[in-house]
Amino acid sequence: MRISLVNPPFLPEFGRYSRTSRSPAITKSGTVYYPFWLLYGAAALERAGHEIDVVDAPPARLNDNDVLRRAADFEPELIVVNTSTPSIGSDGLFASRLKETAGRPFTVLVGTHVTARPSDGLSEPAVDAVCLGEYDRTLVELAAALSADDDWKRVKGLAYRQRDNVVENDRQSPLEELNGRPYLAEMVKKYLRVEDYFFAAARYPMITMITGRGCPHKCVFCLYPQVFHGNKYRLRSPGDVVDEFECIASELPQVREVVIEDDTFSANKKRVKEICELLIERRIKTRWSANVRANLDYETMVAMRRAGCRLIIVGYESGDQRVLDLMNKGTTLEQQLEFARAARRAGLLVHGCFMAGTPGETRESLKRTLDFAIKLAPDTAQFFPLMVYPGTRAYAWAEENGYLTTSDFREWVTAEGLHNCVVSTEALSARELVEFCDYARRRFYLRPRYILRKAFQGVLHPSEGLRTFLSFKVFAKHLFKR
């Protein structure tokens, strides 16, 4: 069966919209990831013997007509369309156009939004079904049923219309066996251009890697663990992870950094150390970075540094303990301070993430967060207003309390595709949260001490200076905008 997997255009005049990010949008730093969950689906279908085509329109700057022509030429029998919350209206309409152009093949939508609200995906009559959660196995079983002319409505993990109702089948059980080829690096080389993707804190060109699915922690705002993975935490073996590092070095030698995009790579510290030991043993020279938690200890940081880790990305979120507790973060301010000290001792750079507007937030707690961010002194920092997505506890909290300023999901991003704030509480309006984040970025980055530190870093490590310069070129227009 010929199957086309499409990450469709959205806001083409601005480009580089990233559906795969935890908060889908065009970011102020220019970050855009390849659609790794779509590629996992593509890899499963290819392994099952199907002929596939993968189209990632936003980073490749492909417009509607480019993608429609490619679909018409490929003549797929099944179309899989990636979605997100801000783009869901556009995604459904584009799926309809794809279906008409390609000869009306079976059309299915995938992603977090249609998992949480399948009726939104099925509002377009041309859409035949949506996938619920992780869809590797669902797509393979759907393709097999369609190929054999069997009853596809029996496939687990699907939702579809039946007269005026939406039927949701039982979900697939979480995929436990995550080891084995093809690796996503191979899929990127075959179907995409690694140079089209960017993460401001990483060396360019970079590639993202997934070494596990889900997260054992219960933060109220986090999208993929709650909606997509069902909070089921599963891991690839250390050997399989390092095999993919070797694959990247062989197949994509231009890659200068691997970004491990697991929600919390450091959740199993024993496994982290085993991966580090294997990287050293096999003499892997590729630098890497990873998402970690603020309870990561110095000994593990040292092991990571010795194994080539350059940067750790941590969700500090707040400088107010009460706010941390209400978002169910599970870390303390003292842990965060010790984490920052340990990272400096270990020689690791830190990208710190801070959030404004979570439950319990006040003007006073925002001030404490900014002061704390400056005290923690990460190498880089991001300040974002709370983004609430259907299926998360944060969205339920905002909806139940009447804090949502709109029910139009297109408003989750601005006209330019940047993150927008749609939460206003009794204590803080959406506008105040956005203004705080803009102010916090200026205050953090324009401090004389910070500028001198980065200049000194650039002299000592020219590659870091170049990375900082390239990132600043993208970020500057937002930093100085009031």
Q: What is the CATH number of the domain that holds 28?
A: 3.40.50.280
User: 227 in a domain, yes or no?
Assistant: no
The answer to whether residue 251 sits within a structural domain is: no
* 287: in domain: no
User: Is residue 405 included in any domain, yes or no?
Assistant: no
Q: Check: CB of residue 83 under 8 Å from CB of residue 109.
A: yes
| Terminal alpha carbon distance of the chain | 52
| Distance of alpha carbon 39 from alpha carbon 299, whole angstroms | 35
Q: Which helix (H) or strand (E) holds 356?
A: strand 349-356
- Quickly list DSSP for 89-104: HHHHHHHHHHHHHTTS
pLDDT score of 465 more than 80? no
On the question of pLDDT at 480 being above 60, the answer is no
Please give the structure tokens belonging to residue 322: 């009460």
Task: Work out the pLDDT band at 466, boundaries 50, 70, 90.
Answer: low
* Cα separation values, 91 from 72, 230, 361, Å: 18, 24, 34
The answer to whether 420 and 413 have CB atoms below 8 angstroms apart is: yes
Q: Which residues of 314-347 are buried (b: 16+ CB within 10 A; e: fewer)?
A: bbbbbbbbebbebbbbebebebbebbbebbeebe
CB-CB contact of 204 with 252 (8 Å): no
CB atoms near residue 278 (< 10 Å): 18
151, with CB counted inside 10 A (0-12, 13-18, 19+), is exposed
Q: Give a yes or no: residue 475 inside a domain.
A: yes
Find out whether 242 and 278 touch, Cβ atoms under 8 Å.
yes
Per DSSP, the chain holds a count of helices (H) and strands (E) of 19, 15
* Contact by Cβ (8 Å): 316, 352: yes
Bond into 238 cis (ω within 30): no
* pLDDT score at 341: 98
* Run of H or E including 129: strand 129-131
Structure tokens at 354: 């801070």
How far, in Å, are 45, 95, 406, 472 from residue 411 at the CA level?
A: 34, 21, 7, 27
Cα–Cα distance for residue pair 373/356, rounded to 1 Å = 12
Token representation of residue 272: 């982290």
pLDDT in tens, 394-412: 999 999 999 999 999 999 9
Give the number of C-alpha atoms closer than 13 A to the C-alpha of residue 324, restricted to the C-beta side: 19
**Mean pLDDT across the stretch 429-456?**
91
- In this prediction, residue 470 carries a pLDDT of 56
| Residue 34: Cβ within 10 Å count | 23
- Whether 482 has a pLDDT exceeding 70, the answer reads no
At 453 the pLDDT is 79
Q: Hey, which residues does 209 pair with through a beta bridge?
A: 260
pLDDT, residue 475, reads 54
Cis previous bond, 205, omega within 30: yes
CA 159 to chain centre: 24
Query: What tokens appear for 115 in the block?
Result: 């998992």
Count of beta carbons in the 10 Å neighbourhood of residue 249: 16
Longest dimension (CA), the chain: 68
The domain boundary, picked from 168, 192, 212, lies at 168
Asked whether residue 31 is assigned to any structural domain, the reply reads yes
Residue located via tokens 């803009």: 438
pLDDT at residue number 27: 85
pLDDT (average), residues 190-209: 95
Record the pTM: 0.94
Q: What is the pLDDT of residue 467?
A: 58
Q: Lowest-pLDDT range, 100-109, 185-194, 240-249, 457-466? A: 457-466
Mean model confidence pLDDT for the chain: 94
3 state SS of 211 = coil
- Kindly state whether residue 96 falls inside one of the protein's structural domains: yes
Q: Which amino acid is at 115?
A: T
Q: What's the pLDDT tens digit per position in 122-144? A: 999 999 999 999 999 999 999 99
Decide if 7 contacts 19 (C-beta within 8 A). Answer: yes
Calpha distance 467→380 (Å, rounded):
12
Mean pLDDT of 16-42: 92
Domain boundary among 168, 193, 213: 168
Above 90 in pLDDT, residue 460? no
Say whether pLDDT at 464 is over 70: no
Q: Where are the alpha helices (DSSP H) in 317-384?
A: 321-326, 333-346, 363-376
Q: Give dist(CA 340, CA 349) in Å, integer.
A: 10
In whole angstroms, what is the distance from residue 286 CA to residue 253 CA? 9
**Which residue range forms the structural domain that includes residue 458?**
446-482
The sign of the CA dihedral 78, 164, 389, 98 is positive
Instruction: Choose the final residue of a domain: 122, 145, 168.
Output: 168
Question: Distance (Å, rounded) from C-alpha 67 to C-alpha 82?
Answer: 13
* Residue pLDDT, tens place only, 291-326: 999 999 999 999 999 999 999 999 999 999 999 999
- Please tell me the total count of domains within the chain: 2
Residue 479 pLDDT class (50, 70, 90 cuts): low
310, containing H or E segment: strand 309-317
Considering the domain boundaries, does residue 331 fall inside one?
A: no
3-state secondary structure of 278: helix
Which pLDDT value is given to residue 181? 79
